[in-house]
Structure 1
Amino acid sequence: MERALYAEDPKFATALEGSGLRTYTRRRVYQAVAGFLVGIGLLMAGMVAQLIWISVAGFLVMLACAVLAVTGWRKAPRPGAQRGGPVGGLGRRQVRQRRTMMDRIEQRWQRRRDEQGR
């Protein structure tokens, strides 16, 4: 249905699509950066107060936020990139692999039918 909408009215489909995923991942990266800064603050506060557990907590917060930022950045779609791709979100290579797999399955099916028909 989505492909039909794109074929019929691509401008309208693009307007409906919006940039929800891009906005979500951008917000997630910003939150991770803010959390990283809080982690630095906790690390420094623990060092000043000489409380190791606060420093360790700050380090763990920094580590978690760094992981969130990197994974969020990698998942963010590029501006102008079409959401989804050619077939239900599959990349070009995956579509080609799926097609060849289906071709092999069909060839095996045909061989079995031919062997049974003999």
Structure 2
Amino acid sequence: MPLSEHEQRMLEQMERALYAEDPKFATALEGSGLRTYTRRRVYQAIAGFLVGIALLMAGMVAQQIWISVVGFLVMLGCAVLAVTGWRKAPKPGEQPLPGAAPQGRGTRQQRRSMMDRIEQRWQRRQDEQGH
């Protein structure tokens, strides 16, 4: 649901006030922080994947199957983390959803219901101010 012109102006005023009052905090709230966090998580998953390969190879050389299995499981887990982290990362310049958690906790349904509650509160405030 797009914002009305009045709501858009109010949002811009609040953003300007936030930047004027506390620029460091405002910068921390931008998508770049989440992008940096996600990128770091993907790099850690790639490093873990390489460790898994090393374990897999070490298990083969030492003829210890359990080490190879652990290496394979580490590789699999890290590959899943890297792919899901990469998909959830906001694109450069894109703002994350206000209800989205950085680690992807919560389902889309839960985020939607939170947004619905926020919108209902906003409408209630607007109705109270208008009357």
Return the TM-score normalized by structure 2.
0.57
Question: AA paired with 1:47?
Answer: M
For 2:55, the equivalent position in structure 1 comes to 42
The count of corresponding residues between Structure 1 and Structure 2 is: 88
For 1:76, the equivalent position in structure 2 comes to 89
Q: Unaligned regions of 5+ residues in structure 1, if any?
A: 99-118
Taking CA–CA contacts closer than 8 Å with sequence separation of 6 or more, which of the two structures ends up with the larger relative contact order?
2
Quickly say closer, same or farther: Cα 1:57–1:4, change in 2 above 3 A. Answer: farther
Shift of 1:59: 0.1
Q: Unaligned regions of 5+ residues in structure 2, if any?
A: 1-7, 101-111, 117-131
Larger Rg: 1
Distance 2:90 2:44 in 1: 18
Residue 80 of structure 1 aligns to a residue in which SS? coil
Quickly say closer, same or farther: Cα 1:53–1:15, change in 2 above 3 A. Answer: same
Question: Which aligned runs of 4 or more in structure 1 are off by greater than 6 angstroms?
Answer: none
For 1:20, the equivalent position in structure 2 comes to 33
Shift of 1:82: 2.2
Shift of 1:23: 1.0
Distance 1:83 1:4 in 2: 20
Q: Does 1:54 align with 2:33?
A: no
Residue 84 of structure 2 aligns to a residue in which SS? helix
Return the TM-score normalized by structure 1.
0.63
Question: AA paired with 2:43?
Answer: Y
Quickly say closer, same or farther: Cα 1:89–1:52, change in 2 above 3 A. Answer: same
Quickly say closer, same or farther: Cα 1:64–1:49, change in 2 above 3 A. Answer: same
Larger deviation, residues 56-65 vs 20-29 = 20-29
Distance 2:80 2:29 in 1: 28
Q: Does 1:63 align with 2:68?
A: no
Distance 1:5 1:34 in 2: 45
